[in-house]
Structure 1
Amino acid sequence: MKTLDLALLRTLQTVVDHGGFAAAAVRLHKTQSAVTHQMHRLEAELGFPLFEKSGRSRRLTAQGTRLLGYARRLLALNDQTLHALAGAGEGATLRIGAPHDVADTLLPGLLAGFAKAYPQVQIQIHVGRSPFLMDDLRRGDLDMTLSTRLDPTLPGLTLRTSPTVWLCAEEFSYRRGDPLPLILADEPSIFRQLALQTLEAQPADAAVPWRISYESPTLIGIKAALRAGLGVTARSIDLLDPTLRVLGPVEGLPRLPDVAYHLYLRGDGGHPIARRLFLDLAAGGVPFGPPVDDGPAE
């Protein structure tokens, strides 16, 4: 059985990630003809074309796209193996942020994967509100963060979407047609925006009257008000627990938009291991924002 040449696969990945043969040549410190020759070698070894013409540029064929997915995983595993054997990460500290909503749902799985890949890395967890975590990331106070904010100017990866629902205390009583007492975070808050925009967008004949009954700058305060039966809030389904219940069409409340949770990397790439972890995750999904330098971790 043939053995794939990882150097050729890395060139393929670089061509795609950096937008073409010329840009890949600059990134790899090669001539453009050398990059072209490598791709011809890879096509010859595989027995099928990797690129096809699209106007004045070239794009991956269907088989090329399929190969790229495997290439990313092979290269990530190769680099991870070399880093582990070399003791990569010893003494390093990564600072990772997460919103309160997913600190005990989405975050644990990520942390387990990070710890398995780099057991010698110390991880500092910062839990807070999405907009403030994004500010910390831009200032360089964090290496990576989970966030509900969409920012295409930073390297990002959408991890999942979650339903946004109307939540209240299990014993809370709401009669259809009554003003909806809202429990909201103060600005800036994506859930506050989703709640108010959804209610204000209702047609006049189906409009739900509402009022803001409680505001808090923290999720702890919102949960306390919910459990005290002070009203209803719009929040990710991740917040649901046995003390709360979901309201919906039966009570006349409109459906809320889903919310996406993204993983962001610092704009300058931050710590080399943070870049490597981000690229490992991106190999299994569709990243957005500016490309990330895929240099080896130090």
Structure 2
Amino acid sequence: MSTLDLELLRSLVAIVGHESFGAAAVQLGRTQSAVTQQMQRLEEQIGHALFEKRGRQKRLTEHGERLLVYARQMLAMNDEALRHLQQGRLEGTLRIGAPHDVADTMLPPLLAEVVRTSPKLQLDIHVGRSPFLMESLKRGEIDMAISNRLDADLEGVMLRTSPTVWLCGAGYVHDPARPIPLIMADGPSIFRRLAQEALDAAGVAWLTRYTSSSLIGIRAALRAGLGVTARGVEQLDSGLRILGPMEGLPPLPELVYRLYVRNRVINPLTRQVFDQIRTRLHWTGNP
């Protein structure tokens, strides 16, 4: 059986990431024709087409999508092995992610604990939206991630629970006779789902007034008095206040935050740091 060429796989990942053969070629330091020839060699090796034309663009075929999953995993393992062997035992880089909501609260003490147990470790910190961080974790692009999502396919340890509350601006005027104007994250969001499910179950009318791709945008809309959002209590500050039963809003469930580690860890340092965190968690549920 032949062996897949990692450089060909790296080019495939670059093409998909940049959505262009030309942009991938620039990143890889090759000509576009050279990258095209690489994909032809890869197609010959697996015996299937990797791309198909859709309109004016090329998209992955079903076999291309399947190979992409393996390519990302193989490249992640290769790169991690090189980092570990080149940097030496107990030294290296740990890539850790946290959602915006808890980057100021749960992440700092966790980072302090990591540095305390592994002082020579370099930290590569990723802050973003929880669903995208979990996708990065599964692709091997980061090593650990804090998340409020339950994922039985990943190994994790509970950090703490956090109340979910209804937040609005300090000057927001609530009118119970009108539908609740919701301020929500666009795309996948556990807070969006919890808010809509709670309001529907309680028979409370609502409408989406404002959406944002970032927590900063949501907080700006709240401070502007545009509406209400469901969010972790960590977001409460002097410019915001909590709404509750007195305003006719239903209760919201607490969320459990966990620290997850990526699957198929081959770097013993990553495994050692995660195991140390798990055994040294003496925060009684708080990091």
Q: What's the TM-score bracket when you normalise by the shorter of the two chains?
A: 0.5 to 0.7
- The 1:234–1:274 alpha-carbon spacing in structure 2 relative to 1, beyond 3 Å, is same
Post-superposition shift, 1:88? Answer: 4.8
1:255 lines up with 2:256 in the alignment: no
Q: State the match for 1:229 in structure 2.
A: 225
Return the letter of the residue paired with 1:229: G
Q: State the match for 2:31 in structure 1.
A: none
Q: State the match for 1:89 in structure 2.
A: 90
Return the letter of the residue paired with 1:181: P
State the alpha-carbon separation in 1 of the partners of residues 196 and 242 from structure 2: 18
Indicate conservation of the 8 Å contact 2:117/2:276, yes or no: no
TM-score by length of 1: 0.63
Indicate conservation of the 8 Å contact 1:247/1:253, yes or no: yes
Indicate conservation of the 8 Å contact 1:98/1:147, yes or no: yes
Please tell me the root mean square deviation across aligned C-alpha atoms, in Å. 1.4
Q: State the match for 1:278 in structure 2.
A: 274
Return the letter of the residue paired with 2:163: P
Return the letter of the residue paired with 1:144: M
Length, aligned pairs only: 194
Return 5+ residue gaps in structure 1 as ranges. 1-86, 286-298
Post-superposition shift, 1:274? Answer: 2.0
Indicate conservation of the 8 Å contact 1:155/1:266, yes or no: yes
Return the letter of the residue paired with 1:134: M
- Regions of 4+ moved over 4 Å: none
Return the letter of the residue paired with 2:273: L
Task: Write the deviation string for residues 55-91 of structure 1: whole angstroms up to 9, x where unpaired.
Answer: xxxxxxxxxxxxxxxxxxxxxxxxxxxxxxxx9533x
Post-superposition shift, 1:271? Answer: 3.1
The alignment partner of 1:178 has SS state of coil
Task: Write the deviation string for residues 138-164 of structure 1: whole angstroms up to 9, x where unpaired.
Answer: 111000000111111111111111000
Query: What percent of counterpart residues are identical?
Result: 56
TM-score by length of 2: 0.65
- The 1:132–1:270 alpha-carbon spacing in structure 2 relative to 1, beyond 3 Å, is farther
Q: State the match for 1:3 in structure 2.
A: none
Return the letter of the residue paired with 1:97: G
State the alpha-carbon separation in 1 of the partners of residues 89 and 219 from structure 2: 41
Post-superposition shift, 1:119? Answer: 1.1
Q: State the match for 2:234 in structure 1.
A: 238
